[in-house]
Structure 1
């Protein structure tokens, strides 16, 4: 954690925003409605279900094909950003977002790229430890996208915070030359800034099917700008800054959870071990 701003109202009417949160309409006799992150009126990601007891989720959908970066901000974000107000960056990206209350957070990350089903995957690791595997499919949840793990820490003896950065499109879609340019800049000491809209979902299993029953706080950052920067930082083992705009009204968490987030994000990084034990890295 570098700095936290005050909650502020941002965004434009939903009909004008390129990014929106929505609920899928339920057909007669259909199953539960999905909570969705929409880009240009197309479903981009399925998010954690509203019940609060289902597992944490961000699942890329077939229509997720667009990034939302602003060319006018590229030069400003290449250098190190030190102010959560962003020198106009927040207001600029607010034109892409639906009107609502947002908490600005300026974070420093050491991203690690994770491939679903492989080492370090939250969905086949920590989540299975708590919820077990999906009872219908007999498999862990699958996000349909590579993503970055960046931070985790204990909330208390029975809860843990996990942080993720989710690209709108897979890193394989990135331009190799731009990734290499950022690697070179980082090796010279530059710490560029990415921008994301974020949610804080607090999920508690209703039934103890796993080996370790506890509450998962999921801080998920969906990248607006910074796809090449995150890949470069992960490849080079460097840090990158992230200006996170936490959508307070669209998160599955209460005001008390959200008020605790800045202090939790400022704690030392720690990993969760089975049996409600945590160990600092």
Structure 2
């Protein structure tokens, strides 16, 4: 469910943001989300036909809770200067283990691109993650949404997860915060039998790790404040502008 959309805002620290994105151009060997200059996640390659990717790296070791009355400005101060689309979403998370049931990389991605040509295996994200929503874009494209924790659920304190599970059961609906990217990849020359364009909205969770795990374990919805980086994904600005409309649709799995 899409709860609200704010106008695109200029956010971010122009000098020393804690989170940055590597340059995504043809000369770059990889796209990265970095924390304090250290690679935290490898991202979908810039080419536009490559497989969707978020693969945890050694720099992904902490969560974030900046102070401030305006959460958009507070969390925006962690990010590189740029244009961001704030979205308030309702999500009902489902925790997925790599190569386990429901793993996008082992199922939908393999059906389109086939196995990795070198390893002979599905892409491995090196982290559990949450699936929250999907729908058709049109007859030739499908939209997937993921919430990726900055630290794995196994790092969460069990007592805190149980505390928030009780709060969810009492009717509370907390708001979590993420920085988000839209990647769109058309699988030209892919080996799989099911060819269609993949739209991937990936939320990198900054705050709310215990609450998100509690929501997944109890099948309760939570709110997610997404700061969608307009120009940092592989999707064009026009595709990013369609996210609110797509996210407001009814969920629909690909046949």
TM-score by length of 1: 0.87
**Which residue among 33, 49, 68 is the counterpart of 2:64?**
68
**Which residue among 48, 51, 54 is the counterpart of 1:55?**
51
- C-alpha displacement of 1:201: 0.2
DSSP-derived class of the 1:242 partner:
strand
- C-alpha displacement of 1:4: 0.7
Partner of 1:198: 180
- C-alpha displacement of 1:65: 1.1
DSSP-derived class of the 1:270 partner:
coil
Deviations 1:72-121 (A, max 9, x none): 46xxxxxxxxxxxxx61101111111100000000000000000001000
How far apart, CA to CA, are the structure 2 residues paired with 1:213 and 1:257?
20
- C-alpha displacement of 1:251: 1.1
Q: Is the radius of gyration larger for structure 1 or structure 2?
A: 1
Gaps of 5+ in 2: none
How far apart, CA to CA, are the structure 2 residues paired with 1:34 and 1:8?
27
- C-alpha displacement of 1:24: 9.0
How far apart, CA to CA, are the structure 2 residues paired with 1:63 and 1:241?
27
Partner of 1:10: 11
Distance change (3 Å), C-alpha of 1:102 and 1:270: same
1:174 aligns with 2:170: no
Partner of 1:35: 31
- C-alpha displacement of 1:62: 2.1
TM-score by length of 2: 0.96
Deviations 1:203-257 (A, max 9, x none): 1112031111000000000001011111000001100100000001101111221
Runs of 4+ in 1 over 2 A off after TM superposition: 23-26
Distance change (3 Å), C-alpha of 1:25 and 1:107: closer
How far apart, CA to CA, are the structure 1 residues paired with 2:95 and 2:24?
30
The alignment covers a number of residue pairs equal to 254
**Which residue among 101, 110, 123 is the counterpart of 1:128?**
110
- C-alpha displacement of 1:7: 0.5
DSSP-derived class of the 2:125 partner:
coil
How far apart, CA to CA, are the structure 2 residues paired with 1:102 and 1:211?
36
